[in-house]
A and B are shown apart, each in its own frame.
Chain A
């Protein structure tokens, strides 16, 4: 079943100086239920804009976005979102931060608290529910933010470079954990990243965008078996896929002429 359906999406901004910026052009994409799709592209290609349109935070200029059968016009409860920064409210405990969407949406508190405990256990923060954000590391803050995005049990999780601010080792650990969380929770995930290995490691399909205006250069299937460990990065197929995406993004790259790319995509 198609969970997210994007058809001929266009986005044009008008800047303060009255200049028109063509951010996205003719994006057509269908994300299946429980699928993990990652989006990579050069910086400024409109990746984040695409995610904000999917989340209903900004309107599209042209084209249609349908989520779970209905058009997206405003932020909705069946979509959870995780930003690059955790954006936890520093005056709230981890538990109260996770409960924030439930409060805003008027969900019963007792039920939400039980669910928040489950989510915090799932992300490995069960002993930190009474701590304040400043007492957590960057990776732990982002785990709390993921719990917060899942508290309303949305079918879809949108993630905007969620691990971009973390160091490389924390990032790999978070990738492993996110894969597990995705498999346990059965969500449909769209994740924006500028890291090609991260995109391939996590994805069922990688959407490669071109530089501005962002168009879909290609959608790359990742047929690597799951669950994937970090050693999957040594798999020859992993190398071929990252190489192919790199060539799509940079054009022909030096020293990688041996990597065959023709039998993919």
Chain B
């Protein structure tokens, strides 16, 4: 070994060495992308090889082309993706914020009163198990083909996860923490802000994670049922034209919307719940 402290470049190993180190320490960093490349490659070549018609299963390159065409359009072009994605994202964000916000608020209020919580519990559990998405046609009938009906559907879907998880969170507060606060002579609102709410946060974030997934589902189903704009309507019209590659490319856009929403939540969660170890994290995703 030579002394290379004053020359950091000399200390950096060459590329093949770094690759070998990476394979030894974190092989998944190499193998996971390699698997993706393999799958796409097999897909690309087996579609023409088995003579699968394009409208049944398009090749990855067809999907990429459709994606490019959709993204190449102007922001207000009705054939492009930007306009529709914008509408869907607006619906998702509005519905998610309102629905989960109201769910959290009501769940929080209910949890502070034992009698109300015990009375409503049976109904909430019953309603929670209903497939609320089946109400989408009625909601479109009530609120029309515009943005409102989609926002209402998403609200309905995101309300219950937050209602249920916040109630569970407030119920699960460590009794020792409550006894400590009582011993300090704390008032109820002090106990709420300093102990109950922070203790319930891991549950609440688990609910938000669930609600984020439901929000995207709600938007697409709502648009299937009746809408003039949005990625769901785009999928419907492409499907009618047997543009399967286009449908897949819209699916990719939807996936990106869902992943971004999830990642954004995780970022907030990591900052807020930095103190929550594996034991306190409720549902790992």
A134 to B182, CA, bound (A): 23
Stretch in A75-83, A114-122, A185-193 touching the partner: A75-83
Q: A89-B198, A134-B277 are in contact. Are A101 and B184 (CB under 8 A)?
A: yes
- The A129-148 residues at the B interface (CB cut-off 8 A) are 132, 134
Contact mask B215-251 → A, CB, 8 Å, 1/0? 0000000000000000000000000000000000000
Residue in A closest to B185 when the chains form the complex, CB atoms: A75
Inter-chain contact B179/A91, CB cutoff 8 Å = no
Tell me which of B180, B183, B185, B280 contacts A90 (CB under 8 A). Answer: B280
Interface size on A, residues (CB 8 A): 20
User: Mostly helix, strand, loop or mixed at chain A's interface?
Assistant: loop
Nearest CB of B to A125, in Å:
18
Q: A57-B179, A83-B179, A83-B180 are in contact. Are A91 and B185 (CB under 8 A)?
A: no
Indicate if B177 sits at the interface (CB-CB under 8 A): yes
A217 contact set on B, CB distance < 8 A: none
A111 contact set on B, CB distance < 8 A: none
Indicate if A257 sits at the interface (CB-CB under 8 A): no
Indicate if B275 sits at the interface (CB-CB under 8 A): yes
Indicate if B190 sits at the interface (CB-CB under 8 A): yes
Q: A75-B183, A76-B185 are in contact. Are A89 and B277 (CB under 8 A)?
A: no
Residue in A closest to B272 when the chains form the complex, CB atoms: A91
Contact mask A86-118 → B, CB, 8 Å, 1/0? 010111000000001101110000000000000
Inter-chain contact B194/A132, CB cutoff 8 Å = no
Inter-chain contact A75/B184, CB cutoff 8 Å = yes
Indicate if A200 sits at the interface (CB-CB under 8 A): no
Indicate if A71 sits at the interface (CB-CB under 8 A): no
Inter-chain contact A90/B179, CB cutoff 8 Å = no
A112 to B176, CA, bound (A): 24
Indicate if B87 sits at the interface (CB-CB under 8 A): no
Residue in A closest to B178 when the chains form the complex, CB atoms: A87
Tell me which of A90, A104, A134 contacts B181 (CB under 8 A). Answer: A104
Instruction: List the 10 closest A-B pairs by CB distance, nearest first.
Output: A90-B275, A91-B275, A104-B186, A75-B185, A104-B184, A87-B176, A101-B184, A81-B183, A87-B180, A75-B183
The chain B residues found within 8 Å of chain A, CB to CB, are 174, 176-177, 179-186, 190, 194-195, 198, 274-277, 280
Jot down 25 A-B pairs with beta carbons below 8 A, ordered by A: A55-B183, A57-B182, A75-B182, A75-B183, A75-B184, A76-B185, A81-B183, A83-B180, A85-B176, A89-B177, A91-B275, A100-B184, A100-B194, A101-B184, A103-B194, A104-B181, A104-B184, A104-B185, A104-B190, A104-B194, A105-B184, A105-B185, A132-B275, A134-B275, A134-B277
